[in-house]
Structure 1
């Protein structure tokens, strides 16, 4: 990877978080706002998250230095601030990256990401052209319009062990391939269960982890808990 290179969210899965850098815009009378976030990831380097307009953009880019603006405050840059929730996950690998969509009667767009670590997860949102960090934090009325496609409507087990694997479909209609072998679990997104459709832009890795057991069998409930997925109350199961 090179500086300024755009990344996809799948590039982050499995990478260990080494350091967190934040840039804050300080205004004269208002609370500081998050301008940029850099996650320093093993094997990638500093990944900058910013909002160029609607949604998030990810790229390899070095943190900049603090600077002042003549009429609009100043920008400070800090490393591993304890006030930034993602700092608590330094040293852990990113287990999954999922899209958060904002939907109301008028618009539907990618509003942010949920990054899951072994020790928990946090949300990074781009709302009104600002970055918002939300870890165990309810954002008020906007929460009703934020959606993650993590609920399964149908699951078909295609192998019971070595590997344990399933075909699954979310309530939003997305097909997922669930697999567990040698203690490694993964969730992949594809257009359909037809493997001939698995090589295009719609395919990507959602989730990946290694539990260290080298096992080849896992119960669906345990797999879903590790993958941070859930079954719909009326989910159709075929095992």
Structure 2
């Protein structure tokens, strides 16, 4: 892969986090601020997360050394910094990468990404220039303006055999395809439930995991919890009883 080539969020799914490198801006007496984060991913190499303006951009890139910024201070580069919550996910596989949107009624933009691992998740946000926020806790008043499209308004089960399959729609109208087979679960985004529309740019992988069971059945609620999806309080759910293979 060529340096400076932008990566898609789906490129990270299924990759194991091997280590991380951080770059911190030091200026005057202020606390250091996080400006760059490299996630070293199995089979992909180091991936740079940075904020070219607002939001988060990612591309393949090798960490550089520390440097001075004259009157703007200096930047230090540290391997496996304990000050970043993502450190606790080293050794785990990225299960899903979800977009985070910001909208305060005046300005709206893609603010960052949520990376979900088997044992938790981390948000990487770019809300202002050159400042990356890596956080796994609420951020106060700004939380009211952050949104992830993970709440389902409608779910229709389309297969009870192997694989289990559901079509689902989020509260914003996004169409998702949910699938579980041999212990492997996936969530895909598509323009509609019509499979003839699934080959275009609007289709992409949202989530993928292997629970190690090689099983053929999973309860819908368990599937949604593992995939990081939620049912809206008044969600419309149509399911079919499982087939009894012993009958």
TM range (shorter): over 0.9
Verify: 1:133 aligned to 2:134, yes or no: yes
Q: CA deviation at 1:2?
A: 2.4
Q: How far apart, in 1, do the equivalents of 2:93 and 2:220 lie?
A: 23
Determine the C-alpha separation between the residues in 2 that align with 1:2 and 1:214.
36
Could you tell me whether the CA contact under 8 Å between 1:168 and 1:177 is conserved in 2?
yes
Paired position in structure 1 for 2:116: 116
Alignment of 1:1-239 (within 5 A): 1-129=1-129, 130-135=131-136, 137-239=137-239
Give me the whole-angstrom Cα distance separating, in 1, the residues matched to 2:49 and 2:30: 23
Q: TM-score, normalised by structure 1?
A: 0.98
Per the TM alignment, residue 176 of structure 1 is displaced from its structure 2 partner at its CA by: 0.4
Distance in 2, matches of 1:138 and 1:221, equals: 25
Q: TM-score, normalised by structure 2?
A: 0.94
User: Where does structure 2 lack aligned partners over 5 or more consecutive residues?
Assistant: 240-247
1:230 & 1:105 partners in 2: Cα distance? 24
CA distance in structure 1 between the partners assigned to 2:161 and 2:213 by the alignment? 14
| CA-to-aligned-CA distance 1:204-239 (integer Å, 9 cap, x gap) | 100000011111111101100110111001000111
- Which 10-residue stretch deviates more, 183-192 or 66-75? 66-75
Secondary structure of the residue aligned to 2:188 is strand
Shift of 1:84: 1.1
> Is the CA contact 1:21–1:78 (under 8 Å) kept in the aligned structure 2?
yes
The offset of 1:98, in angstroms, is: 0.2
Aligned pairs, number: 238
Is the partner of 2:233 in helix, strand or coil? strand
1:56 offset after TM fit, Å?
Answer: 1.2
Shift of 1:70: 1.8
Extract unaligned runs of 5+ from structure 1: none
